[in-house]
Structure 1
Amino acid sequence: MTRVAAFTDTYHPTVNGVTYTIEAWRDHWNDHHGRMDVVYPGTDEYTPNAREHPVRSLPFPFYDGVRVGAPRVPKTVPRADVVHAHTAFGLGLAARRYAKKHDLPLVASYHTPTAEYAEYISSNDSVLAGLSTASETYEHWYYEHADLVITPSEPTKRHLVDDLDVTTPVHVVSNGIDTDRFQPTDGDAFRERFDLDGTLIGYTGRHGYEKRLEDIIDATDGMDDVTVVFGGDGPARDDLETRARTADVDVRFLGFLDRSDLPAFYTALDAFAFPSPVETQGLVALEANACGTPVAGIDAGALADTIEHGETGYHYEPGDIDGFQTAIERTLDDHDRLAANCLDRRDTFSIEHAVTELRTHYHTIT
């Protein structure tokens, strides 16, 4: 039995890929491999379960929905065999201190290139450059002092090794998704519930400026019998709605969707559109695939690998809106074959597969 102490700055009540990755890893680990305790930024809106250990926290002023936890280790955290930091900042420092104090191996996951989000703090070019340099310098220091680094995709690994010059062993472990939850279901009921018909092209997730979601509206502008459906919310939503009002395409904003609604949302779509160049894996693309929905997405970042061109969807080159429209049209035209391929690959991106790989890497340092 391997005992793991996981530290993260992105956990309840935020709704994002990292939150669900850690929850799913914890639940599967506790069921099959040992014990995993999670240290996270506490909030009055969430009551911790067993093996969840909150610390004092404050809202992060530059990124809505994220809280920053005090870099401390609660006394309730039991002794571990492995410390796993899911952040280099905040509680990542607590994880490092806990590992050093007890002479334990430190595994650090690299989920997000922090420099990509510097524009949330300032739009000034010189300030952006300084913030990016500072964050990359810090990330190099942090990951260089870990015993093992985990990334969710090969492009993210290459960034860590080639751009940040990290020499610590780096291994790719997909975040994985819950394939018991994400599978084809009744998409027609979802369409009826939200009064949707025709060809549906959609996206769900955080509406962040860095994800370039306006490209979905631009790429579908003028397409016949198409409805674009956005699930989720975020700082870019108002601007997206403004752009949608002048576009020659029907655009619907459904707002936040409960996690239980997502399988039906994905199943209802004819194609999932994903223009974000900053993904470290793109879990929503895999969730869509697990529900039999192919993806038209950018050939950049992790989506270059997450989307198998011609097999589970189609790519387009960054900045090429006409190319994005072509990728969407090809995905729609080839829907049935692509959907079958998506369903055939479900086991390869399951939580079970991910945690089995994680267990193997833990054993190399314990």
Structure 2
Amino acid sequence: MPTVAAFTDSYLPTVNGVTYTVSTWRDRWRERGGEMPVVYPRSSHDPGAGEYDVPSLRFPFYDGYRVALPRTPSAVADVDADLVHAHTPFGLGLAGWRYAHGHDVPLVASYHTPTAEYADYVVPDAATGPVRAASERWERWFLDRADLVLTPSERARDHVWDLGVDVPVEPLPNGVDVDQFRPVDADDFRRRYSLPDDRPLVGYTGRHGYEKQLFDLVEAAEDLEATLVFGGDGPARDDLEAAARDRGVDARFLGFLDREDLPAFYSVLDAFAFPSPVETEGLVALEANACGTPVAGVNAGALAETVVDGETGYHYEPGDIEGFRTAIRRTLAERDRLSENCLDRRDDVSVARAIEELRSVYEQLLD
């Protein structure tokens, strides 16, 4: 098994899709006898074996995100990697490129997040267009320096192609830890958070960001006989709570949930609702499915393929609130059948399958 150095700007203690993917891939790679040292921005997370933290600054526009310098950190001078895998096009992604170039080893780049999509809330309206254009130019420049670009979905691959990237691009889903994410008894979770048992529970967990379009969920729930359950936190939370109060929607905001609690969170739900159009994979939707919970999701971005319409949930078109409401109702009405389909697909979306595909990709590059 080759030694693969992972360079990432998102890592523990921040919890998001990139952090989960990097840490899970590292653990599973080790289980197979390989090494995957991780280089990440210095934070409150103390580095363990095979972890290298480098000086960083807080990024003011995104909670939990830190910016590291793009030079190759001296902390990784002793790392002897056969291949570099960059999980960011910015600070430490550049450091990974410099390492790969200086050590004459292949560079793989994962395209996790379309950074241009976040320009709408990071900068003033007047600057959104130029910032989006600059972000896309930078992404194209960086990705063109990789030997291979991996995307977590075919939709994300198509987006990278649209950027004009001139290197091979392959879809490779990040995968779900199906040993952890499985149906569990959620009675204790329901009691702990005083969730009702006499009406359907429709939920979402993840970052409460404006780009996630969570206000569409609150509006769609206005005419549903259901309780909304939000896990996670973020800059839009206060406004979401206010919107729910104004519309008379029964919404429970649980705050940040430990990862160990997520299987119970998904299992207690009758439907998972996912209105975010900016996902490159929609990992939480796959986690919900692995726990037997179907998804009502927007027909945009990666969710257009992550949710299999009529099989693991239902789609609605972006911005169509009545369509969203209908998708939730259909998902609730057909929950038992959809849940069985979700459970039948667990092996297909597992991280074990993803790691085997990843190993094949690495070996082909090294050969």
Which position in structure 1 is the counterpart of 2:211?
A: 210
Matching residue of 1:92:
93
Show CA shifts across 1:36-90 (max 9, x none): 10000011x2111100000001111111111112223324542111100000100
1:263 maps to which residue? 263
Please say if residues 53 and 77 of structure 1, whose CA atoms lie closer than 8 Å, have aligned partners that are also in contact: no
Say which SS state the counterpart of residue 319 (structure 2) adopts.
coil
Structure 1 spans left out of the alignment, 5+ residues: none
Hey, what does 1:273 align to over in structure 2? Answer: 273
SS of equivalent to 1:221: helix
Q: Distance in 2 between matches of 1:96 and 1:76?
A: 14
**Is 2:80 the partner of 1:79?**
yes
Whole-angstrom distance in 2 between the partners of 1:200 and 1:188: 13
SS state at 1:206 partner = coil
Deviation at 1:11, TM superposition (A): 0.4
Q: Distance in 2 between matches of 1:203 and 1:94?
A: 35
Q: Which residue of 2 aligns with 1:101?
A: 102
Three-state SS of the structure 2 residue aligned to 1:80 is coil
Hey, what does 2:128 align to over in structure 1? 128
Q: Which residues of 2 match residues 241-320 of structure 1 at below 5 A? A: 241-320=241-320
Residue equivalent to 1:110: 111
Match of 1:60, as an amino acid? F
Encode CA deviations 1:147-184: one digit per residue, 9 max, x unaligned: 000000000000000x2011210111111111111000
Question: Which consecutive segments of 4 or more residues in structure 1 shift more than 3 A?
Answer: none
Q: 1:63·1:120 contact (CA, 8 Å) conserved in 2?
A: no
- The equivalent of 2:48 in structure 1 is 49
Q: Structure 1 CA distance, aligned partners of 2:88 and 2:358?
A: 17
Task: Measure, in 2, the Cα distance between the counterparts of 1:330 and 1:309.
Answer: 11
Contact preservation (8 Å) 1:232, 1:255 = yes
- Backbone CA RMSD of aligned residues: 1.0
- 1:351 positional shift: 0.9
Contact 2:293 2:342 in 1 (8 A): yes
Between the aligned partners of 1:64 and 1:120, the Cα distance in structure 2 is 13
> How high is the TM-score relative to the length of structure 2?
0.97
What code does the residue aligned with 1:27 have? Answer: D
Structure 2 counterpart of 1:59: 58
- Partner letter of residue 154 of structure 2? E
* In structure 1, C-alpha distance between the alignment counterparts of 2:33 and 2:336, rounded to whole Å: 38
| Contact 2:292–2:342 under 8 Å retained in 1 | yes
Report the secondary structure of 2:3's partner residue: strand
Which residue type is aligned with residue 342 of structure 1? C
The amino acid across from 1:87 in the alignment is T
Give the Å deviation of 1:276: 0.2
The number of residues matched between the two structures is 362
Query: Is 1:2–2:13 an aligned residue pair?
Result: no
Aligned pairs for 1:143-292 (under 5 A) are 143-161=143-161, 163-197=162-196, 198-224=199-225, 226-292=226-292
SS state at 2:150 partner: strand
The letter for the 2-side match of 1:173 is: L
Secondary structure at the aligned position of 1:14 is classed as coil
Provide, for residues 232-290 of structure 1, a one-character-per-residue CA deviation record: whole Å limited to 9, x for no partner.
00000011011011123211111111111100000000000000000000100001000
CA contact under 8 A between 2:39 and 2:76: conserved in structure 1? no
Note if contact 2:296-2:327 (Cα within 8 Å) is conserved in structure 1: yes
Q: Structure 1 residues 77 and 342, CA, compared in 2 at 3 Å: closer, same or farther?
A: farther
Per the TM alignment, residue 200 of structure 1 is displaced from its structure 2 partner at its CA by 0.2
What TM-score do you get using the length of structure 1 for normalisation?
A: 0.97
Distance 1:305 1:333 in 2: 22
- In structure 2, give the amino acid aligned to 1:12: L
Contact conserved, 1:231 with 1:257, CA < 8 A, in 2? yes
Q: Distance in 1 between matches of 2:48 and 2:292?
A: 33
Partner of 1:149, secondary structure, is: strand
| Identical residues among aligned pairs (%) | 61
Counterpart-to-counterpart distance in 1, 2:332 and 2:280: 26
Runs (5+) with no aligned partner, structure 2 = none
Quote the Cα distance in structure 2 between the aligned partners of 1:188 and 1:312: 24
Residue 207 of structure 1 and its aligned partner are, at CA, apart by 0.1
The 3-state SS of whatever aligns with 1:13 is coil
